[in-house]
Amino acid sequence: MSGNGGAKFGGSFGGSYGGSFGGMPAQPAAVAPEQAAPAAAAGELIKDTTTRDFVKDVLEESKKQPVLVDFWATWCGPCKQLTPVLEKVVQSFRGKVKLVKMDIDKHPEIAGQLGIQSIPAVIAFDKGQGIDGFMGALPESQVKAFIDKLVGGKVSPDIAEILAAADAALVEGDAAGAAQVYAQVLGAEPENLHALAGLARCAVETGDLEQAKAILGQVPADKANDKSVAAARAALELAEQAADLGPIHEFEHRLAQDPADHQARFDLAVALNAKGMREEAADHLLEIFKRDRTWNEDGARKQLVQFFEAWGPMDEATLAGRRKLSSLLFR
């Protein structure tokens, strides 16, 4: 399992989190016994569990109060960020909710039965049923809001903050985790363009261009120029453009033979961008612009601007590329 797992948006990608929770079974199927974890002290709010003890520690315990199950692994960096936050917030609720942690490497069966394909993953159980959940290392405020909702509190998460967290996850390469969060927002606000565009960008990042088209097709015509939608559309167009190109080494070979082959350099930039090599892609377009600003009717600069739009205004590659472009424009 990894943060890059996921299939369709509404399956493991986006799931139905906040609703039917991805269609997961009400209870995991019985599994073979294994060595039990050390017993927890009476009244303990946080504990580790095993496949063998899952029914007792989670399903039966959730009949007394909600139980959060934190699926994690020792190699998972975001898990190490989330777990202490979960522990802190759970303790602050003073027994209204408990936390059970499960190492998926030692005990993979439950996670497999629940269809978990990305960690960290947190599933909330109440009255023996899995009722809600989230993926990714959410900030403390969002974890608190999630538990508030779980135990009947009135506090709801701030949508802008949630979207910012999803955007950050996407920039860091966790498309599956970001998609889960965008899907949660759409569950609460079905017409939220930022979340819809974010979900489309997640599809682009995983190579599901048809899914991205379908998602963007849901945008009303009068909202087509929304900034987030335009950025998602630019990312999709770039991915489609790259899909029609040949291998990177072909363009590199052509450039080695003729450094003034601007078309080869242009195609190389598009291909590099598709591989996530943003700064290298920008540098090649800047080189074309430096050598011949008029080439292909200012094609290099126009393509670079499309890169910036797709990457977002605060992306490091965008900021660096804009600085370099400005130095060429105004030197």
Which residues are part of the catalytic machinery?
A: 76, 79
The Cβ of residue 119 has, within 10 Å, a number of other Cβ atoms equal to 26
CA angle 63, 138, 227 (to 5 degrees): 130
Rounded (5°) CA angle 63-81-50: 40
22 phi and psi, to 5 degrees? 65, 15
Parallel, antiparallel, or unpaired for β 98-103 and 46-48?
A: parallel
Q: CA 241 to CA 235: how far, in whole Å? A: 10
- Residue 69 pairs in a beta bridge with 100, 123
Residue 201: alpha-carbon gap to chain centroid = 10
